[in-house]
Amino acid sequence: MKQLYGWTTCLLGEVASTFSGGTPNRSRPEHFGGAIPWIKSGELNAGWVETTEETLTQEGLENSSAKLVPAGATLLALYGATAGVVGRTRSEAAINQAILAVVPDRSRVEDDYLAYLLRNLTSKLLRIVQGAQPNLNAGMVRDSEIELPPLPEQCKIADILTTWDEALMQLDALIEAHERRKKGLMQQLLTGKRRVPGFAAPWKLVRLSRLLQSADRYIKWDETRMVRLAGVRRNNGGLFDRAELPATEIKVKTAKLLRAGDFLISRRQITYGGMSVVPPEFEGFEVNDEYEVLVPADPAALDIKFFDLLAHTPRLKHLAYLASNGFFAERLRLNFDLQAFLESTVRLPEDICEQRQIVAILQTADQQLTLLRTQRIALDQQKRGLMQRLLTGKVRVSAE
């Protein structure tokens, strides 16, 4: 071992033991459902594991490779979608084979400090490991070189980082509360259960064909030009910018021109929410015939941004599903029938000013969420930078 910045440099395996667990035989139901919590790698969430989806019996523990870890143990996901995630367990529990327990020599390493050390370490290991879904192993972890300050300084570093984690948790709780509030506002405002002050006229039931019409602006094909293509995401919608391509490289020879304020529908993805209003930055982009381009039939009767909100409600998604039938040739995708969809009816405010007020209220809620999420990202980045400096001794703290 050598000294660096007055700290001890060593291998992690010299100051901590490691072991993984296992999975009992799934064909033996008597191995499951007991009083022993059983942690799987997907349950590590970069924090404390409070509860587990499954439990083991004593027989299941004794007749498998599953192993018990003590309360407060530091756990590392070795592979799968959560590879590299570090968590702690509140109570004594068993672990499966995808988790590595790291148990420190407490005369040399403090538990909270070890958890932060591992988070910093695994981010480096994951950058080394190749593959779409990287796997870690116990040897890589044990053979990693670490630098340890004296125990009092470890405790002080852990206390500082815990304060930052608590601030992040408070911000997460605030974001979650705002998400619930926005969801509640949408459910009430987009159904008329909650009215905007100053508006009392009943909402009307209107056929979509009276609100929307096709705006297919077909472009004469010219193979000498560059084409700026747009696509619409499934689930929450929103457009994305495809790479600009020479027209000669595009197989589909039919293109439609987009204008800001168009309502774009992906015929293949509409049942999954693949629809969106076209924002100004996509003015002049193009799509092919797999997309429907719609505009308000009467701009004085429908605010397209209001319809965009309405289109992503469960009712409109269900109407889109009902208007989808059959399959594309050799593809397991529903074929969307625009005319059938436009025969559907929706309820909405007759006064377009109320529609716009609802849009403004929900946009404000979105802006608040965006601000909180931006603050959360910035705080997390600051914490990561501080953690890197504290755990390497670049920034020293007083243990007094």
Question: CATH number of the domain at 204-348, please?
Answer: 3.90.220.20
pLDDT (tens digit per residue) in 138-148:
999 999 999 89
At residue 329, the pLDDT reads 39
Q: Is the pLDDT of residue 303 over 70?
A: yes
pLDDT (tens digit per residue) in 9-55:
899 999 999 999 999 999 999 999 999 999 999 999 868 999 999 99
Domain 2-148 shares a fold with domain 204-348: yes
At residue 332, the pLDDT reads 46
Describe the strand order of the beta sheet including 212-214 as a list of residue ranges: 212-214, 291-296, 263-266, 275-277
Q: Which amino acid is at 312?
A: H
Give residue 133's pLDDT band: very low, low, confident or very high (50, 70, 90): low
Q: Is the pLDDT of residue 252 over 80?
A: no
Q: What 8-state DSSP symbol labels residue 196?
A: P
pLDDT-wise least confident of 41-45, 82-86, 249-253, 304-308: 249-253
Beta strands 263-266 and 291-296 are antiparallel
Report the DSSP beta bridge partners of residue 327: 334
At residue 327, the pLDDT reads 43
Q: What 8-state DSSP symbol labels residue 78?
A: -
Contacts of 272 (CB under 8 A, 6+ apart): 234, 235
At residue 334, the pLDDT reads 56
Among candidate residues 387, 384, 388, 391, the one with its CA nearest the CA of residue 9:
391
> Residue 250 has which token pair?
């595009």
At residue 128, the pLDDT reads 75
Q: Is the pTM of this model over 0.95?
A: no
Q: Is the pLDDT of residue 333 over 60?
A: no
Name the range with the highest mean pLDDT among 45-49, 242-246, 285-289, 350-354. Answer: 350-354
Q: Where are the domains of the chain?
A: 2-148, 204-348
Q: Is the pLDDT of residue 225 over 90?
A: no
CATH T-level topology, domain 2-148: Adenine-n6-DNA-methyltransferase TaqI; Chain A, domain 2 (3.90.220)
Please state, in angstroms and rounded to a whole number, the distance separating the CA atoms of residues 283 and 241.
Answer: 11
Give residue 132's pLDDT band: very low, low, confident or very high (50, 70, 90): low
